[in-house]
Amino acid sequence: MKKRILRAVLIEPEKILIEEVDKPLPQKGEALIKVEKCGVCGSDIHAYYGKHPFTTLPVVQGHEFSGVIAELGEGVSGLTVGKKVVVEPSLVCGKCYQCRSGRYNICDELRVMGFQAPGAYIEYFPVPAEKVIMLPDDMNLELAAMVEPTAVGVHAATRAGLKGGENVIVIGAGPIGLLLAQVTKALGANKVLIADVIDARLQKAVELGVDYIVNVQKQNLAESVHRVFPDGADVIFEAVGKEATIRDAIETARKGTKIVVVGVFPSDPKVQMGLVQDRELELVGTLMYMRPDFEVAVNLIYSGKINVSPLISARFNMRELQKAYKYIEQNKDTTLKVIITVAQD
């Protein structure tokens, strides 16, 4: 008799079904992962409320996860059963121009586990073996669940072309902004200023070693930047996804500054393109990550060069997933990252 396992399915907005299914077998080229920990992303919340434009329900969510290799399918080499792992959740075609050019993160047919493909809210999850990254044997799996969002920050920093010594502004002190601020410091940035409207998040930034904080509801951002960076910042990261914040980035930028757009915009903002042109500003987009970003993220967390523990606000098990989503909604200002324990034994 096949072993029965649990999985959580978002069947319609605000309705999650916890069901028993047969334990899957890894197919050719796959690794079966016993999923241990999974982080909740803001995009997961959008999908839960039916507001994610690229997610069709029903779907098994979960893409920020860690676990242990349980079984290997035919033809898989280079992986070892029992090893701790994280998984890069992007599924790509490998054939389009972007994939052939080494930029598969912007594949024409990109699908992401937990959105356009099944995700990790299942006790045993078969995934393509080439998407598996093995971890150090003594790495904490809860911290490893933070590798995926950290990789977002690593990729954004890479897109910024950081070489070391830069003065950096991060607009937005949510989980990605706080990780990004730490990543830029770990990769050699000189000083980092982070801006937000929530004091609790800014205080968390102080705890994490960010050099300067600005509450833009109480202080003028441009004036604050000029005080700490008289010559302006070298790079600005927009990590919110709102018209007001991208306008702040453009207005605050000195001439020739690079602005990296990390935030996801739910609607089209009206921005000051005249300033972009006149000041020779560079607007650079960044999407997700690639395997090298994951590998850097693993090293940054494992080595302690960045600290992800203070970002974990609460923990739930998978049977409590709906409760976890409601908790996040009810505690927006103080919740950064919620971790779900998927394994039931």
| Residue 2: predicted pLDDT | 76
| Residue 80: predicted pLDDT | 98
266: confidence class by pLDDT, cuts 50, 70, 90: confident
Mean pLDDT of 190-213: 98
Q: Which CATH architecture has domain 4-146+308-341?
A: Alpha-Beta Complex (3.90)
22: confidence class by pLDDT, cuts 50, 70, 90: very high
Domain assignments of the chain as residue spans, ordered by start:
4-146+308-341, 150-285
- pTM beyond cutoff 0.95: yes
3-state secondary structure string across the chain: CCCEEEEEEEEECCEEEEEEEECCCCCCCEEEEEEEEEECCHHHHHHHCCCCCCCCCCECCCCEEEEEEEEECCCCCCCCCCCEEEECCEECCCCCHHHHCCCHHHCCCCEEECCCECCCCECEEEEEHHHEEECCCCCCHHHHCCHHHHHHHHHHHHHHCCCCCCEEEEECCCHHHHHHHHHHHHCCCCEEEEEECCHHHHHHHHHCCCCEEEECCCCCHHHHHHHHCCCCCCEEEECCCCHHHHHHHHHHCCCCCEEEECCCCCCCCCCCHHHHHHCCCEEEECCCCCHHHHHHHHHHHHCCCCCCHHHEEEEEEHHHHHHHHHHHHHCCCCCCEEEEECCCC
pLDDT surpasses 70 at 308: yes
Write down the CATH number for the domain with range 150-285: 3.40.50.720
Tens-digit pLDDT profile for residues 269-297: 999 999 999 999 999 999 999 999 999 99
pLDDT surpasses 70 at 1: no
258: confidence class by pLDDT, cuts 50, 70, 90: very high
Tens-digit pLDDT profile for residues 81-140: 999 999 999 999 999 999 999 999 999 999 999 999 999 999 999 999 999 999 999 999
